[in-house]
Amino acid sequence: MDVNRYYGRIRRPVQREGAERYLLVTLISFAASVAATRLFLELTGYPQLGGGELHIAHVLWGGLLLFVAALLPLIFANRWAYLLGALGAGLGVGLFIDEVGKFITQTNDYFYPAAAPLVYAFFLLTVLVYLQVRRSHAHTPRAELYRALDGMQEVLDRDLDTEERQALEARLRFIAEHAKHPSFSRLSRELLDFICDDELALVPDVPSFWERILTWLQKFEVQWITLRRLRGMLVGGLVGLGVVQFLGVIRLIWAVRDPLSMERMLTDLVSMGKVTSASAMAWFIGRISLEGIVGLFLLGGALFLAVGKERLGERLAYYGLLVSLTVTNLLVFYFEQFSTIITASIQFLLLLGLIRYRRRYIGVRPIGKTDIAAE
């Protein structure tokens, strides 16, 4: 066997154009699917489809959506197939993994405490995949030719606008100048001649629905979200969340000092099913301790932001929210189950606000100097 010939036929992966957008759709639909399913079941009293020996669980609908999502890009070459596939994959995996408690327990316990942390951990892993895909984008002639050929779909669908043609031109010129294989250069030049032909039909550059939404949000931000307002919202949110996080530590310290309060707290925890063993109690204390540390970080970050120490305040709040979202919430989901989705969403929004604050203000002006134009 010719090893070199065999090695040369190995297809090295190339990231698809717009992969991060499809993954984002999957993430949003995944989170929405789990949250909507739990909310619907809670409001309707956990109804069941079927009767007698039959029970049609929603995991079956999740599996069906996953199967359809897998078939779409196998059957259709259009870009909309990838978008629908991403949507179906997110909805399907949400419906599927929501019932993980039934498949990891001998009693098929849907409300098994570890189920919620497993769902949340799986979601975090998917977020890491999204961040990696968004960060990595190989800029090689081979990868760019893949994306250029994918972009030719706009020509075939008669949906090519001026901006898309300019992007294709830049990509094909790069391939022609840097490709080591002569056939790649020749193909890119021929495609470039085709793209630059004056007779090629172009459509008006009409913004899509999401582009119009994004433009409106950008205008709204410039007009209404000034430096003072954004800082006020961040400080208020961090203070509120920090106080809530730190209250658990205060209650625990107060209970430890008073035997009767400690006994009542333990009785309440056992009666609510949050603590069923000594190890569970240790994990609960660990959770409260972590929340207290995070609360201090958030309160400290809010204080420093308020007094003008923006870099220090932003970093304290950023790392506090990051630890809460990636570590503390795993324990919170174990004890509180899916009722903590709202809190996790608020933490995520505050983290996005901090990142936006850093990019828009901290990185463009000296610390402590008021941005009069933004006010």
Cβ proximity of 238 and 298 under 8 Å: yes
Cβ proximity of 192 and 176 under 8 Å: yes
Closest alpha carbon to 126 in 29, 270, 261: 29
Residues 22, 51: Cα–Cα separation, whole Å: 38
Cβ proximity of 94 and 33 under 8 Å: yes
pLDDT at residue 164, rounded to an integer: 87
pLDDT at residue 96, rounded to an integer: 94
User: φ and ψ at 77, to 5 degrees?
Assistant: -95, -5
Cβ proximity of 62 and 94 under 8 Å: yes
Please write the tens of the pLDDT for every residue from 160-175: 888 889 989 999 999 9
Instruction: Please identify every stretch of the chain with a pLDDT value under 70, giving residue numbers as ranges.
Output: 1-10, 49-53, 254-278, 363-375
Helix (H, G, I), strand (E, B) or coil at 40: helix
User: φ and ψ at 365, to 5 degrees?
Assistant: -150, 155
pLDDT at residue 83, rounded to an integer: 93
pLDDT at residue 88, rounded to an integer: 96
Strand partners, 49: 56
* Residue 278 neighbours by CB under 8 Å, 6+ apart: none
- The structural domains of the chain, with segments of one domain joined by +, span 19-135, 141-195, 218-364
Cβ proximity of 285 and 277 under 8 Å: no
pLDDT at residue 250, rounded to an integer: 78
pLDDT at residue 217, rounded to an integer: 85
pLDDT at residue 374, rounded to an integer: 39
pLDDT at residue 74, rounded to an integer: 94
pLDDT at residue 276, rounded to an integer: 66
Quote the DSSP letter at residue 6.
H
pLDDT at residue 275, rounded to an integer: 65
pLDDT at residue 112, rounded to an integer: 85
pLDDT at residue 334, rounded to an integer: 85
Please write the tens of the pLDDT for every residue from 37-76: 988 888 888 877 666 667 778 889 999 999 999 999 999 9
Strand partners, 56: 49
Quote the DSSP letter at residue 363.
G
**Distance separating the N- and C-terminal Cα atoms of the chain:** 72
**pTM tops 0.85:** no
Q: Is the dihedral of CA 284, 287, 293, 294 positive or negative?
A: negative
Residues 311, 333: Cα–Cα separation, whole Å: 31
